[in-house]
C-alpha cells in the first residue's frame, strides 16, 4: 500500500482484568503489546488503534471499520458475547477486502467460524509444553525474517485435527513437548479479502512479548492488507446481458492500438 | 465402500410443477432423472431415494439422514424456505462425513453458503450460451470416463468471479459462448466430509439428461462417499492431558513387535 | 478399479544384504514385507510383484512397467545407480497415469526429484526419536482406518523445511521426540498420474512391519491407482484447428436429445 | 523490498529479427517493450536490464544472475538452444529465492519444465481468437488494478489440458473465441523462490503493448521478488544432531524474558 496500513487490534480484554496471572504479563492489555509490536516492526508503514469487547459496539463502529485496513482478533472467554450484528459487519468487510489476522483462541470466534464454515475445533492442553514453530514455506512473505524454529518456552498445546478448511497457503507447523502437531500459520483468501491465522498466544504465557512472534504478526498484517483498498459494497453482480463488457473491449482495444502506434514511431532497428 | 452407497437426491421440485417449459423437460421431476442417471452409471454400487422441499422436514428426517451416505442438492427459487433446523442438521452431518454434491443454482443454498463461508455469488445470464466443460485435472477420479469437452448446447451462463474459497481440487472449468469462464467442477474437504460442486444444470435446459453429466454426477457420488462411514457425533475433542494417547503407544508397539517376531521366524537368508 | 490393482514393489535391496542390523529386521528384504502388507490389507484387490536394483533393467523392463498400475519405490544408498533410461521410462509412465508411492529416503530418488522439480532435501537425524504421525485431513481416502496418532517407537528424524512443492493434498504431519515436524503424507497430481509420498521407513527400524503403516501403504496404493488405466502414449496434443471437437458436439448433442425424447415418453404427471 | 527490484528481462529475440510480421510489432525487440512496461508501472521500484539468447552465456553470466532479483523469460523457437549449464544456474537461483516470471511459449522452456516436473504441454491454435482473461482470485496481489476481463483482441489459443502441477494460487483463467479455456495466471512456490506463469503473449500479436498486460507483469514482478533476498548457496541442510537449535532456544528465551521485564516496568493499571 502507498499509505500506512490502518490496523485495528481487537481484544476481548477480560482475562487481563480478571486474572492476576494474566495481568502480570499484560498489565496494559494484550492489545497494547500487540500494537507496540506492529509499530516496532513496521514503523511508519502502520498506524494502530485498539478496540475491546466492552466498548460500545465492541469498538467496531461503522466509523472505525471504514477506517480499518486490517483487523486483528484475540478472544477466548466471551466469543458468545460478541454481537451478531457486529460479527456480520466484520465478516462483510473481510469479504470486501479488509484483512483479518486471527490469533490463538480466536479460532473459535464467531467471525472466524463464519468465514471458515467448519467447526474450527482442535485438541488442547493447558500444560507446560514448549512450542516450536517451523517454517514449511520459506518463500512465503509471512516467513520473512522469521527464525527457524520459533521457540516458545511455554504455551498451551493446540493439536490436530484442527477442523479448518485446508489453508490456501500453509506457512508454519508447530510441535509441542507432548508430541502433538498443529498447522499454526495458515493463510486463506476469502472473497476480496485475506485472512491469516496464527495459533501461538495463550493468555497465561507472554507470547506476544516474543520478538519473533511480533515479526510474524507484522508480516501477517502486511500480507493481509488490501493493496487496492476495500470495496465500497459487497460483491453482488447483476445479471450480465450479452455485451456487458463491451466498454472494456473498446477501451482496451484503443489503448493497445495506441501503444502499438507509439512503438512504430519509437522503433529502431 | 463395501456396500452400496446410499444416495438421497434432494430437489426443490417447484419449477417442474409450476413452469410449463420445465415440466416438458422434467415431467417426473429433476430428481427422478438424476436418480436414474446414478443407477444407470453405478448399478448395484448405489441405492437412491428422493426428497423434496414440500415433504415434512423437507424429506430429510433424522431417519433419512442417518441412512444417507451422499446427499445431492438442487435448489433455486426457494433457498430461503429451507428450514434453518434442517440446514443445521445437514451441515452437521456433512462435517461428520456425509458426502454432498451441490448442483447449479444450489451454489446459493443455505447449506452450501454455510459450509463455504463466502457469499457464493457469481455472474449469470439466462440466454442461449453453449457451455463447454473442460477437464483441468485428468488424474482426478471425478474426471474418469468424462469426454473432453462436455458440450452442453444450451445452458445458463455462470461467470467468474465465483465467490467461493479456492477449491481443494479443481476438476473442470467451463466456457460460454459469451466468453465468460467458470470453475465448474470443484472439490472441497470440510471436516470429515467431502463436497463436490458441479455447475451445469439450469432447469430450462435438459442438462441432467446429458449422459456425460450423469457420468460426472456418478463420479461425484463415488468421490464424496465416506469410505469409513459417518461419525456418530460431531468432532469435539476433549481436553487432552499428557498421556492421552498412551493406549495407542502400547497397542501399536505390541503389534509392531509381534510382526517383527513373526518375520524373524519366516525370514530366509 | 474393476480388476485387481497390479503393484510393483521396487526396492534397492542393498542394506538388507550388506548390514547385519537391517538383515535382522528384513531377512526377506523390505519389498517382501511391503508386498505382504499390501496383500494382507487388500486381499484380492491387489496383485504384487517385486523388482530390485540389481535385476536387469532394475526389474523395470517394458513388459513389467506395462503391467504395472502402481509402482512403490524405496531407495537410499544408490539413487545414482538407477539408470537414467529407466528413470525416464518410469517418469513417463507416471505422467501417463501409473500411480507412484514414494517411501522414506526415496524422497531423494531421481524419479521423485524429476517429478517434483525441487531439491527434495530435508533435515535428518539417525537417532532414537519416536515419530508420531498425525492425520490432518480425516476425510481423505488415505486416512481411512488409520489410527491417530500412528506411533512409531523408533525412527529416523526427518525435519522441515522439506523442499517439495506444497502437496496438492496434505494427509499426515509427523512430530519427532527432538521437536522437529515433517509433512509425512503428501499427495500430488502430476499429468495423468498420482503420487503419494510417505516418509516413515528407515531401514534400521522395523517400520514396514507396523500394521498401521501397512494400512497407509494400502490406502496409498488404492488412491494412486489409475481408475481409467494408463494412457497408451504421452500426452502430446496436436494443433487444434477450429472445429477440432465438432465430433463431440454432434455425438453428445444427439445423446442428450435422445435421452430427452425418452423422458417425454416416460414422463408421468 | 526496501530497494528497487532488479529485473532481468530475458528474450529469445529470434522472431523479431527473422519475421517481418513480428518486427513490425516489436522493432526494438519484445524485451524492450516488456522492460518499458515494468518501468512505466513501477517507476523507481524497479530497475531493468535485458538479456538475449545470442549473448555470451545467453546474457546470464554469474555477474548478471547475482544482480537479478526477478528474471522474466520469453522463448519459443529455440528452447533447445539454451545451454543446460545456464538452465541449471537459473533453476538453482530460483530455488534459492530469485523470482521467475514465465511468459507464453516459455511454458516449454527447459527452465520451466525442470521446475514443474511435468510435460507442460497444452493445446494450441494460431488463429484469430480473441482472448478474455478473467480474474478468479480478486484478493490476490497479482490481480491488483487489473481490469475484468482483460480483452486481447487477437491471440494464439492455448487450451487445457495444460500439463502443469495445480498452481499453488490460480489468479487468471482465459477463454478463447473457439471455446477453449486455459489457466492463464498461475503462481507457484518452489524452494525459496516464487514463479508466476502468464500465458498471453504470442509474438504475432502486440500483446505486450497492452497496458493491462503490463500491469499484470508488474504485479508478477512484485509478487515474485524475494523480500529477504536470495540465499547465498543452495538449501542443503546438514545432519541435525539433537541440540542443533539450542542457540535459538537461548537467544529467543532471553529476548522474550527481556521484553516481559520491560512490560512490567511500563505496565499501568
Question: Which residue in chain A is spatially nearest to D267 when comparing CA positions?
Answer: A27
Q: How far apart are CA D172 and CA D213, in angstroms?
A: 12
Task: Please report the pLDDT score of residue B127 as a whole number.
Answer: 82
D36 vs D128: which has the higher pLDDT: D36
Residues A8/D243, Cβ–Cβ less than 8 Å: no
Sheet containing C99-103: order of strands: C46-52, C5-11, C70-74, C99-103, C193-198, C181-190, C169-176, C123-135, C150-159
Q: Is the pLDDT of residue C4 over 90?
A: yes
Task: Answer yes or no: do D162 and B135 touch at CB < 8 A.
Answer: no
Indicate if the pLDDT at residue C248 is higher than 60.
Answer: yes
Answer yes or no: do C175 and A170 touch at CB < 8 A.
no
Note the pLDDT tens digit of each residue in A1-12: 789 999 999 999
Beta-sheet pairing, B70-74 with B5-11 = parallel
Q: What is the mean pLDDT of residues D100-116?
A: 98
Taking residues C119-131, report their average pLDDT.
94
Minimum CA–CA partner of A135 in chain C: C161
Which residues of A are less than 8 Å from D194 in CB distance?
139
Residue B269: what pLDDT?
46
Decide the pairing of beta strands B99-103 and B70-74: parallel
Query: Phi first, then psi: what are they for D86, rounded to 5°?
Result: -70, -40
Distance CA(B208)–CA(B220), nearest Å, equals 14
Closest residue in C to A160 (Cα) is C136
What does pLDDT average to over chain C? 95
Residue B126, chain C, CB below 8 Å: the answer is no
Region C25-47 average pLDDT? 97
Range 44-103 of C in CB contact (< 8 A) with B: 97
Sheet holding A5-11, edge to edge: A46-52, A5-11, A70-74, A99-103, A193-198, A181-190, A169-176, A123-135, A150-159
Is residue C178 less than 8 Å (CB to CB) from chain D? yes
Of C117, C124, C235, the CB nearest to D117: C117
Looking up cell 497479482, which residue turns up? Answer: D142
Residues of chain B with pLDDT under 50: 269
Size of interface A-D (CB pairs under 8 A): 140
The residue of B240, B245, B249, B252 whose CB has the most chain A CBs within 10 angstroms, and thus the best one to mutate to test that interface, is B240
When pLDDT is averaged across residues C125-130 and rounded to a whole number, the result is 90
CB contact D136 to B (< 8 Å): yes
pLDDT for the residue A197: 98
Sort out which chain A residues have CB atoms less than 8 A from C136's CB and list them. 160-162, 181, 183
Mean confidence (pLDDT) of chain B: 95
What pLDDT is recorded for position A266?
78
How confident is the model at residue A127, as a pLDDT? 81
Q: Inspect the interface and report whether the beta carbons of A179 and C175 lie closer than 8 Å.
A: yes
Q: What pLDDT was estimated at residue C268? A: 53
Contacts of A145 in chain D (CB under 8 A): 228
> Which ipTM score applies to this complex?
0.95
Cα–Cα–Cα angle for D114, C171, B45, rounded to 5 degrees: 105
Q: How many helices (H) and strands (E) does chain C have?
A: 8, 9
C166 at interface of A, judged by CB pairs closer than 8 A: yes
Taking the Cβ of residue B121 and every Cβ of chain A, the question of whether any pair is shorter than 8 Å is answered with yes
Chain C residue at shortest CA distance from B258:
C209
Question: D236 in contact with A at a CB cutoff of 8 Å?
Answer: no
Q: What percent of chain D has pLDDT over 90?
A: 93
Tell me whether D191 touches chain A (CB under 8 Å). Answer: yes
pLDDT of A2: 81
From B117, B180, B236, residue closest to A116, measured CB to CB? B117
pLDDT digits (tens, 9 = 90+) for A187-232: 999 999 999 999 999 999 999 999 999 999 999 999 999 998 999 9
The residue behind cell 503462481 is: D187
A170: number of Cβ within 10 Å = 21
Question: With contact defined as beta carbons under 8 Å apart, do B263 and C27 qualify?
Answer: yes
| pLDDT band of D128, cuts 50, 70, 90 | confident
Residues of chain C positioned with their CB less than 8 A from the CB of D123: 237, 240
Residues of chain B in contact with residue C23, where contact means CB-CB under 8 angstroms, are 269
pLDDT at D124: 96
pLDDT at B268: 53
**Does residue A167 belong to the interface with chain B, where contact is any CB pair within 8 Å?**
no
- The whole-angstrom separation of Cα D173 and Cα B173 is 9
| Nearest CA-CA distance, residue A197 and chain C, Å | 16
Split at pLDDT 50, 70, 90, the class of D266 is confident
Q: D202 CB contacts (<8 Å, ≥6 apart)?
A: D104, D105, D126, D155, D156
Which residue is closest to D234 within chain C, CA to CA?
Answer: C119
Query: Which of A136, A159, A183 shows the shortest C-beta gap to C161?
Result: A136
Chains contacting D with at least 3 CB pairs below 8 Å?
Answer: A, B, C
Interface test with C, best of B131, B139, B246, B247 (most C CBs within 10 A): B139
- Residue C85 Cα, gap to closest chain B Cα (Å): 25
The Cα D175–Cα A188 span in angstroms is 26
Q: Is D65 helix (H, G, I), strand (E, B) or coil?
A: helix
* Cβ-defined contact of C132 to A173 (cutoff 8 Å): no
Regions of chain A with pLDDT less than 50: 269
Residues on chain A touching C180 (C-beta within 8 angstroms): 132, 134, 175
d(CA C170, CA C185): 6
Contact D228 A144 (CB under 8 A): yes
The lowest-confidence range among C248-252, D93-97, D185-189 is: C248-252
Q: What is the CA radius of gyration of chain C?
A: 21
Residue A207, chain B, CB below 8 Å: the answer is no
Cα–Cα distance for residue pair B237/B251, rounded to 1 Å: 21
pLDDT, residue B238, reads: 83
Question: For D40-47, what is the mean pLDDT?
Answer: 98
CB hemisphere CA count around A53 (13 angstroms): 22
Q: Which residues of C touch A129 (CB under 8 A)?
A: none
CA distances from D55 to B185, C62, C116, C250, D75 (A): 46, 43, 31, 52, 14
Lowest mean pLDDT among B53-57, D135-139, D177-181, D253-257: D253-257
Inter-chain touch D189–A139, beta carbons under 8 Å: yes
How many Å apart are CA B154 and CA B127, to the nearest integer? Answer: 8
Q: Which residues does A95 contact at the CB level (< 8 Å), separation at least 6?
A: A190, A191, A192, A193, A234, A235, B118, B119, B163
Collapse the DSSP code of A68 into the 3-class scheme (helix H, G, I; strand E, B; otherwise coil) and give the result.
coil
Count CA within 13 A, CB hemisphere, residue A207. Answer: 24
Whole-number percent of chain C with pLDDT over 90:
93
Of A148, A153, A191, the CB nearest to D139: A191
Measuring CA to CA, which residue among A220, A123, A111, A217 is closest to residue A163? A123
- A-chain CB neighbours of B240 within 8 Å are 123-125, 157, 159, 178, 180
Contact B119 A95 (CB under 8 A): yes
Q: What is the pTM of this model?
A: 0.97
Report the residue of C177, C263, C266 to disrupt the B interface, i.e. the one with the largest count of B CBs within 10 Å.
Answer: C263
Q: How far is D15 from chain A (nearest CA, A)?
A: 14
Contact A161 C148 (CB under 8 A): yes
Amino acid at each position: 500500500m502507498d499509505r500506512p496500513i490502518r490496523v485495528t487490534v481487537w481484544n476481548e480484554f477480560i482475562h487481563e482484568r480478571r486474572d492476576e496471572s494474566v495481568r502480570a504479563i499484560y498489565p496494559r492489555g494484550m492489545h497494547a503489546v500487540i500494537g507496540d509490536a506492529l509499530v516496532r516492526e513496521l514503523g511508519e508503514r502502520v498506524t494502530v488503534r485498539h478496540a475491546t469487547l466492552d466498548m460500545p459496539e465492541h469498538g467496531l463502529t461503522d466509523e472505525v471499520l471504514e477506517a480499518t485496513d486490517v483487523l486483528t482478533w484475540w478472544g477466548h472467554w466471551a466469543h458468545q458475547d460478541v454481537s451478531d450484528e457486529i460479527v456480520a459487519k466484520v465478516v462483510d468487510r473481510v469479504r470486501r477486502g479488509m484483512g483479518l489476522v486471527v490469533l490463538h483462541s480466536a479460532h473459535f470466534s464467531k467471525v472466524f467460524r463464519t468465514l471458515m464454515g467448519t467447526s474450527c475445533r482442535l485438541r488442547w492442553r493447558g500444560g507446560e509444553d514448549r512450542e516450536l514453530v517451523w517454517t514449511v514455506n520459506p518463500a512465503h512473505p509471512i516467513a520473512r525474517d522469521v527464525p527457524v524454529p520459533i521457540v516458545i518456552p511455554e504455551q498451551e498445546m493446540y493439536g490436530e485435527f484442527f477442523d479448518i478448511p485446508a489453508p490456501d497457503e500453509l506457512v508454519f507447523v508447530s510441535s509441542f513437548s507432548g508430541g502433538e502437531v498443529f498447522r499454526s500459520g495458515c493463510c486463506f483468501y476469502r472473497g476480496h479479502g485475506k485472512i491469516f491465522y496464527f495459533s501461538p498466544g495463550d493468555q497465561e504465557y507472554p507470547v506476544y512479548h516474543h520478538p519473533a512472534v511480533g515479526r510474524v504478526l507484522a508480516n501477517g498484517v502486511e500480507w493481509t492488507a488490501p493493496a487496492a483498498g476495500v470495496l465500497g459494497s459487497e460483491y453482488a453482480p447483476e445479471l450480465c446481458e450479452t455485451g456487458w463488457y463491451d466498454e472494456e473491449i473498446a477501451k482496451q482495444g484503443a489503448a493497445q492500438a495506441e501503444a502499438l502506434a507509439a512503438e512504430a514511431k519509437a522503433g529502431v532497428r
